[in-house]
Amino acid sequence: MIFYDRLVDTEVLELARRDAERVYVGKVVGAHAWPQERINALIVAEAQKGRRVARLKSGDPGVFGRATEELEAARAAGIATEIVPGVTAACAAAAHAGQSLTERGVSDTLVLTTGTCRDGDPLPDCARHAQPGSTLALYMSVRQSARIVAALLAQGMPGAADVTIAVEVTKPGERFLHCRLEDLSTTLQTEGINGVATLLITWPKSMAQYPTRTLAPSKAPSQAPEIVTLSA
């Protein structure tokens, strides 16, 4: 039994055994025909029939792949499990774009984060991880681009920071676009990108912008008010 989703290319499925049964359990943004609980139950039910079950995911199952929920369901039923690691989207995107995720003197911190989460949870504050010398790899964030850009600008990231938009990475429709941070939402809209894409945003050390903070004046009555400005 092979349970797969919409991110798995058909060429990959052709590598499976000819007698393997394939079941599509994909989700489309905004639609939940296959809620996670139903997928968990199917995995357990088929394994309990004595079948070998493969839950096929695109990228690495341990990075925003909901692997934990499926593993816990299987283990709770006494089913042995094995994880086969893959290449996560950020690494594949950078490799196919011919660029590095980190670069000496430019970016020495890599953050894998997402702009969305499960229903009912507050949206992630992914911008808080950004700082000079960092690269953010944003998964599932196209629809949240305007919010993310505003948050990154408020964090101090320059509007001229470079963004790589990696669309349909490693699939036949793969393409790469480059723009400035301040132009990200407009570029996504103009290019009609509203589905699967990974955003790579680098804040180089050379573009460091350190905001100043003003401390409250001294309250001592015998002293004149004094304002001290610190560089972060």
Q: What is the pLDDT of residue 208?
A: 82
Dmax (CA) of the chain: 88
Q: What is the pLDDT of residue 156?
A: 94
User: How buried is residue 215: exposed, middle or buried, by Cβ count under 10 Å (0-12/13-18/19+)?
Assistant: exposed
Tokens linked to 197: 């894409």
Whether the CA torsion 111, 117, 120, 126 is positive or negative: it is positive
- Under-50 pLDDT residues of the chain: 210-232
Tokens linked to 181: 């941070």
Q: Count the residues in the chain.
A: 232
Q: What is the pLDDT of residue 30?
A: 52
Q: Catalytic residues, which ones?
A: 5, 27
Q: What is the pLDDT of residue 221?
A: 42
pLDDT in tens, 46-72: 999 999 999 999 999 999 988 999 999
Task: Please tell me the CATH code under which domain 89-207 is placed.
Answer: 3.30.950.10
Q: What is the pLDDT of residue 224?
A: 41
User: Quick check: 149 and 184 in contact, CB under 8 A?
Assistant: yes
Count H helices and E strands in the chain, helices first.
6, 10
- Measure the CA angle with vertex 176, ends 174 and 182; round to 5°: 140
Q: What is the pLDDT of residue 29?
A: 55
Q: What is the pLDDT of residue 28?
A: 61
